Amino acid sequence: MSQYTLNVRGRFEAAHQLTSYQGRPEPVHGHSWRVEAELVAAELDGEGMAYDFVAIKRALDGILARFHHRHLNEVPPFDRLSPTTERIAHHLFDELHAALPDAPLLQVTVWEGPDCSATYRP
C-alpha cells in the first residue's frame, strides 16, 4: 500500500523539572526542545497534497507558543503532571489533533536535546 508521509517541525526554549526523578525532584534545567509532527495519507487531494503544510505549521507553532521561554511546571497540564518528554509528546499530539481534527496525524516526537527524544503514537 502506498502512502505519503509529511513531517512538520517546530521548536521552543523552556525549562522544566521532573517532580520525582529517582525518588526526588530534580534541579530545574532548560532544553532547546524540538517537536516533529508526522502525518500519513494514502491519497492526495485535488491540489496534489496529502495535507496543507501551512495549516499544520500554523497550528503547531500556535500550540508551542504557550511553552516558549516558560517553566513547563507552571504551564497546564504540567503544573500537576511531571513534565517528562513522553508526557509532553502525548500532550502535543492531543493538542494538534484537536486543532486539526481532519489531519491524518500519526505521531508526535519531542526532542529534549540533540540525542534524546520520545514519540507518542496512539
pLDDT in tens, 102-120: 999 999 999 999 999 999 9
Q: Considering only CA atoms, which of 41, 104, 99, 19 is closest in space to residue 65?
A: 99
Q: Considering only CA atoms, which of 107, 97, 96, 122 is closest in space to residue 7?
A: 107
For the chain, the structural domain boundaries read 4-111
pLDDT digits (tens, 9 = 90+) for 6-33: 999 999 999 999 998 888 889 999 999 9
In this prediction, residue 108 carries a pLDDT of 98
Q: Residue 85: what are its φ and ψ, rounded to 5°? A: -60, -35
Question: Which CATH superfamily, name and number, covers 4-111?
Answer: 6-pyruvoyl tetrahydropterin synthase/QueD (3.30.479.10)
Distance between CA atoms of residues 101 and 98, nearest Å: 5
pLDDT digits (tens, 9 = 90+) for 35-92: 999 999 999 999 999 999 999 999 999 999 999 999 999 999 999 999 999 999 999 9
